[in-house]
Amino acid sequence: MPKTPLNIRRLAIIFLLGFSSGLPLALSGSTLQAWFTTAGISIVAIGALSLVGQPYVYKFIWAPLLDRYIPPLLGRRRGWLILTQTLLLLTIAIMAFGNPKTNPYLLAGMGLLIAFFSATQDIAIDAYRTDIAAPEERGLAAALTTGGYRVAMMVSGGIALILADKLGWREAYLIMAAFMLIGLIASWFSEEPKFLSTTLKTPANLLIAIKAPFHEFLMRKAAWGILLFILLYKIGDALSISLLTPFLIRGLGFSLTTVGAVLKGIGLLATMLGVFLAGMLMTRTSLYRALFIFGICQIMAIISLLILALVGKNDTVLIVSMALDFICNGMGTTALVAFLMSICDHRYTATQFALLSAFSAIGRVFVGPVAGIMAKYIGWPSFFVWAIIISIPGLILLKQLKPVIDKLANQHSI
């Protein structure tokens, strides 16, 4: 069909934008933790570093600005993409000149700034993807987003560690800044969703842009139950990987190069396999079934980390556990992203997706300080047991929401 080349191009851009979305996360998260770890900072302080990710939780506050205002160049979605990606490139490059030993608070502050620009970029990318993907493409678009996102995390969370080990942290962060050019190029060659300028106009004023998206969503049946489910679905996963890098380096004694090589090699292959499986399965089953099956898989990933903690430093168990982690968690993320896309009203895509994804980020951001205390006082095996336990309520709630999810998944098409 005539549209096939355009659709392939569109999906390729969605993949590259997923890469651009995932790249900054590790640079203000796990990679920054590794930088502080090698500098000899305490595990409790490293756990508290996760608080720099708070913009991912609060991004819905300024998301209405992206629905209401249009940058002077490239349109409502592409204009914001170019702006935030440029700011990220510059901020990551500046952060490269920090030092956790001499200026830990300044470096953490730069991490917070990166998280803010990254969260704003995510608002623009999520809105663009939701607006541009046809209903039948949502599962594949979510899979491609997850694939690009996880590949980027391999780069900024895996390759960056190897570069830091061989060249130094400054050079590693400068190289990571250059990788933001991938997102800039993808945004430049992307297409603006046509219906934004024809069928759907911007909200008449900022007050409407702020109030209407929340009012529309909260008036839906089981709205609060949906928000609670989004919060709980990946909270066990978030706890289990919140201190993954310190666990592997300090807890088990693996080197930076070993951790980086596993994250880059095995992690990349496992991510691609997980994305492929998720994309294939989501074309053959309901969204509810995908969420449930992939939720079980996430628990299996945590069990593999528990086994690694019990076995200790073992290269084979490390490879197997990391492979399962990336496969299972990638599948769970793919299903959750497709679910969020399916329930957004296109009049307020940026704001509603930001609100929904912010709930999913709460666990990742706020479990860090608790995780540091747990790891210190109860040990790594018990830490992962608790991660398994808190994964269960989300699946119980999912079963209760099945009728609502099946209905909402088919609404709000373009």
pLDDT digits (tens, 9 = 90+) for 208-217: 777 888 888 8
The Cα 126–Cα 344 span in angstroms is: 10
Question: What pTM, to 2 d.p., does this model score?
Answer: 0.72
Q: Which domains does the chain have, with CATH numbers?
A: 4-408 (1.20.1250.20)
CB contact burial 198-227 (16+ within 10 A = b; e otherwise): eebeebeeeebbbebbbebbeeeebbeebb
In whole angstroms, how far apart are CA 233 and each of 21, 149, 291, 340, 385? 21, 19, 9, 12, 17
* Res 5 pLDDT > 60: no
Mean pLDDT computed over 88-114? 91
- pLDDT-based confidence at 196, cuts 50/70/90? low
* Res 200 pLDDT > 70: no
- What is the number of residues in the chain? 414
Retrieve residue 264's tokens. Answer: 């880059």
* Res 159 pLDDT > 90: no
User: Could you tell me which residues come within 8 angstroms of residue 126 by beta carbon, excluding any fewer than 6 positions away?
Assistant: 340, 349, 350, 353, 354, 357
Per-residue pLDDT tens over the stretch 270-316: 877 887 788 778 877 888 888 999 999 999 999 999 999 999 888 88
Q: What pLDDT is recorded for position 195?
A: 55
CA-nearest of 24, 46, 107 to 250 is 46
Find the helix packing angle between 169-179 and 76-95, rounded to 10°: 170
In whole angstroms, how far apart are CA 158 and each of 100, 161, 205, 259, 260? 20, 5, 44, 7, 4
